[in-house]
A and B are shown apart, each in its own frame.
Chain A
Amino acid sequence: MSDSVGSSVGPMTDAAADRSSGLPIAAVPRSGWHAATVVAARRETPNAARLELEVDGWPGNAAGQHLDVRLTAPDGYTATRSYSIASSGRGTRVTLAVDKLPDGEVSPFLVDEVREGDMLEVHGPLGAFFVWRPAAEHTPSDGVRPVQLIAGGSGVVPLYAIATAHAEADDPAPFRLLYSVRTPDDIYFADELAALAAASAPFEVDFIYTRRAPDGWPTGPGRIMRDALEAAVVPAAERPLVYVCGSTGFVERIADWLVEFGHDPRSIRTERYGGS
């Protein structure tokens, strides 16, 4: 046995570290390839579509997971892309909200071309890292911790799934969502987010508009700044679990600032979708 192997004997993450992150290893359904039928396709925003899929054999999914969609051209060429799932729980219905990338191979098809009755190949559910589950489904070792969700653009999709799971479970953890979005017209799940804010599970939404703010908005449009971020998120002293999803640049800027504010890096979960 070499030294490097010998030195790795024993747990690499100790139990205390796991307790400090408060994030249990999630039991998630096994992934596989499935045939999905589009049962509804409609505009979500001027640049995005919401797709409801009926997925044959889907084992259900945890809030925050994603799936891969594979398209196959008549000549056999395939393209596979990952999309976050906007829904969670048991059952075979899956909701996606897909942003159209200008040079994309898959998203323009999903946003502009897909119609009710079309079939897609999907692989999932995928990933147990960017997942939240209500306290009722596990025993938190250190009590109820608040949750801060931070979305950039279409990065709101898995966070919407998490917020919905929180409301459906009537989970007592205080939740806040900070949602950076280009304009009011680009908000995904606008009605649903308003309904979640009115539900009994504690949930607040804050918007940052980067291109155009609504009339009368107190601040002009622009990227979120460090001070505004610090003011809008659950303070580090309250030890929140933080989920950040958006473009790579957005996620890394936000995560670096959160660490500067004193948030435990292990309590910050990130998902980057690339892009600008």
Chain B
Amino acid sequence: MTHLDGNSLAGPLAEFFAFDVTMAVARCEGCGTTAELARAMVYPSGAGTVVRCSTCDRVLMTVVESEDRAWIRFTGVGAIEVRRVPEVVERPASPRASR
């Protein structure tokens, strides 16, 4: 199977993280590139998933899942930047809100 990209991490990692990991900006420890994880290259296999820097191919992350847990290793990531995102909340209209 050919590789995918970091968009494919959204579902598997949404099970464990409260934020959308694909929009997290990661710095590659190898070449210093910073990019959203959605832009990384993703190599799935039966053993687990390897996430590589799209610039230098260094391993950024590995994800191994079993039925009841996951092992998520940030092997080559110096730091990630996670934005605070205003959440979309459907609020019932309150009388005070209506003018």
B27 within 8 A of A: yes
Q: Which residues of A contact B6 (CB under 8 A)?
A: 129
B11 touches A25 (CB 8 A): no
B49 within 8 A of A: no
Which residue of A5, A59, A126, A248 contacts B14 across the interface (Cβ within 8 Å)? Answer: A126
B81 touches A13 (CB 8 A): yes
CA distance A126 to B36 in the complex (A): 15
Prevailing SS type, chain A contact patch: loop
A129 touches B22 (CB 8 A): yes
B88 touches A28 (CB 8 A): yes
B20 touches A127 (CB 8 A): yes
B34 touches A82 (CB 8 A): no
B81 touches A274 (CB 8 A): no
CA distance A12 to B1 in the complex (A): 33
B83 touches A25 (CB 8 A): yes
B10 within 8 A of A: yes
B38 touches A130 (CB 8 A): yes
Which residue of B2, B7, B29, B85 contacts A27 across the interface (Cβ within 8 Å)? Answer: B85
Q: A59-B90, A127-B20 are in contact. Are A270 and B85 (CB under 8 A)?
A: no
Pairs across A and B, CB under 8 Å, 29 listed: A8-B79, A11-B81, A12-B25, A12-B34, A12-B81, A26-B85, A27-B85, A28-B20, A29-B88, A31-B14, A66-B10, A67-B11, A68-B11, A80-B11, A82-B7, A82-B8, A82-B11, A90-B90, A127-B7, A127-B20, A128-B22, A129-B23, A129-B36, A129-B38, A248-B5, A272-B4, A272-B5, A274-B1, A275-B2
Closest 10 CB pairs of A and B: A129-B38, A8-B79, A126-B10, A68-B11, A127-B10, A12-B34, A12-B81, A272-B5, A31-B14, A25-B83
